[in-house]
Amino acid sequence: MKNLFFYGTLRHIPLLEIVLGRAAAEITFTSQELKNHAALAVAEGPFPCVVNRAGAVTKGLLVEGLSDTDIARLDFYEGSFAYDLRDVMLSGGHRAQIYFPAPGVWTTAEPWDLAEWEKDWAALSCFAAREVMDYFGKYSVAQVGKMFPMIRTRAAAMVNAAQSKHGAGTLNGKVDVQQIDRVYTNYFALNEYRLQHERFDGTMSGVLERAVFVASDAALVLPYDPVRDCVMLVEQLRMGPIARGDGSVWQLEPIAGRVDPGETPQEAAHREAAEEAGITLKTLEKVGEVYASPGDSTEFFYIYVGLTDLPDKSTGVSGLHTEDEDIRSHLMSFDDLMSMVDAQQAANAPLVLAAYWLARHRDRLRLAPPKVTPDIT
């Protein structure tokens, strides 16, 4: 049995419960201090590392009587963050081990604050930890580390889901999820569910088997110049048409990209406009917050029309090489956009939705073109 001292995110008891796989009532822990060490935030993520610092005191949690299985689970979780165990002596005379960062991995910043982290990141971190610990005994630490950015992005989507505005007037019935199997995971994931749900007559359904494509939330924006009365579309290769056998696999669509952890959909829209097309949006007009295909996918879209200036020189080929993006931008008059949509020549649902929204609001937007700085709140 071993004793460990936690100075960072595992001081958050719900997260500790997830990692250890048991309830707080089954865990022996007390508040302790470690002298001559400081817990510092790191620039690379919302978590701390501990460093030697004379005179500093680090507050933390001493967890006692950890089994070999507990340590294996902790090593699996912490291993994704490049931490190793070392022996320390705590202020109360207790000997314990602590997770130290590998040298040179993290860039330290200001002192780390647990309350601030809990406010901004605790819910996301718990969602991410549940997925990480589902892989315990199935994948290596290295494999989970490679997948971790997308694990956090999927967790961010679950945090966003708690703030969804839709659902008024629909049944708020019981759903009994009996089993979830993750049959595939990499950049995206595929889950298989066994569940029952309440029916409209008040009875429960039989046990159903369903598969769900697990993706991230995405921000999509159709740039519109109200002075020139034109829009920008981007063109790129898409896997959906390839897999379906479509003869047109390069698609015209709005600018789009996933909403990263800690980022608002509006911030994502502004960022993607700069990355994919090299343009700066002045303001965002909300078009819709919708599921892409609620019958079989978690993918959720925040769709906007972004007001901006679109001179002829704004077109070209762009995209992030680090994400293997090869994106060509096009300018199109509003009339040409609507002709394309009305002729069913646009195969991208968010583009069609944004185009019809623009048709309804175009007169208002042209009456008072924006002359303000970008709003990303």
Contact 330/234 with Cβ under 8 angstroms? yes
Q: Phi and psi at residue 185, in whole multiples of 5°?
A: -155, 140
Q: Hey, how many other C-beta atoms are within 10 angstroms of the C-beta on 369? A: 16
**Helix, strand or coil, per DSSP, at residue 10:** helix
Q: Hey, how many other C-beta atoms are within 10 angstroms of the C-beta on 230? A: 19
Contact 237/326 with Cβ under 8 angstroms? yes
Classify each residue of 270-298 as buried b or exposed e, where b means 16 or more C-beta atoms within 10 Å of its C-beta: bbbbebbbebebbbbbebebbebeeeeeb
Report the alpha-carbon angle 301-306-308, nearest 5: 160
**What's the CA gap between 266 and 326, in Å, rounded?**
23
CA dihedral of 302, 305, 311, 313, whole degrees rounded to 10: 20
Beta-carbon contacts of 51 under 8 Å, excluding residues fewer than 6 positions away, are: 37, 38, 40, 108
**What's the CA gap between 145 and 135, in Å, rounded?**
11
Starting at the edge strand that comes first in sequence, how are the strands of the sheet with 95-101 ordered? 83-89, 95-101, 2-6, 45-66, 28-42, 108-111
**What's the CA gap between 56 and 11, in Å, rounded?**
19
Residues carrying an active site annotation: 323
